[in-house]
Amino acid sequence: MAPPKSKKSIAVKKPRPLVSDGSSLGARRPRKAASRSLYTPAEVHEIFRRFSVQRQEPKGELDYVNAFTLLVAVVLSAQATDAGVNKATKALFAAADTPAKMLALGEAKVGDHVRTIGLWRNKAKNVIALSKALIDDYAGQVPQDRDQLVKLPGVGRKTANVVLNVAFGQHTMAVDTHIFRIGNRIGLAPGKTPEQVEQGLLKVIPAEFMRHAHHWLILHGRYVCKARKPDCPACVIADICKSKEKTTDIPAPLVPIAPLDERFPVEA
């Protein structure tokens, strides 16, 4: 006679012990918010006032003829230089400056134009796909809404913010590598992600400067507050800057200068 089957023991999960904040060990904790800006509102205002004197009408370095070609240029600029994109798009935009013309040109011919740009095959595919989406869903017009823009092939949040700011004048902040570096390096809007830096900048930059703030910060990061070593002697905000990486000390506090003195020549 076979022995009776033993009952299977049922494992009972023990509750995880709680930590001091009341959450259980191992449980996901909410992400930490970005750190606060190191600058007072008055200091931030002075930073952007000086940028506005230095470059009254800053412009991006991508060539375009309308909102559509701007969108295409920004999509193509991912992991590529603006100069390289401009060289490739000169003939492309002469042949196709609307979604309908781009779609008619076809993926193969678009690829021929942008072959010198990194990841050109995938980018050519995205340009054709977004052109078709604009025709099918938006009557051939570039939408003026971020949620609609990011649905287009090859368009992310940064690209959408550039288009909204440059083409439509909206107060958006497109965080590229330069702006991300500056936000953290000088403590203007510290954050672990581009979106945290974006939100920090939108919070601290006065509305009167938001139209051009994106370009001021990019140009400042590209030509002055460079990745390898900041050029502090040429910096218009060196005396205000609180970065630990400053290469020179300018002890003056918040000095109002209007216009910029001869140390910081205004661009023609």
Q: Which residues are catalytic?
A: 158, 176
Half-sphere exposure of 124 (CA within 13 A, CB side): 19
- Per-position DSSP letters for 46-111, written without gaps between them: HHHHHHHHH-SS---S---SSHHHHHHHHHHTTTS-HHHHHHHHHHHHHH--SHHHHHHH-HHHHH
Contacts of 222 (CB under 8 A, 6+ apart): 178
Taking alpha carbons only, the member of 219, 182, 221, 222 closest to residue 198 is: 182
Residues of each annotated binding site: 225, 232, 235, 241
Please tell me what DSSP assigns to residue 257. Answer: -
d(CA 193, CA 199): 10
Could you tell me which residues are annotated as the binding site for [4Fe-4S] cluster? 225, 232, 235, 241
Task: Give the largest Cα separation in the chain, rounded.
Answer: 105
Kindly tell me the burial class for residue 61, based on how many C-beta atoms sit within 10 Å of its own C-beta (0-12, 13-18, 19 or more).
middle
Give bridge partners of residue 24 from the DSSP assignment: 18
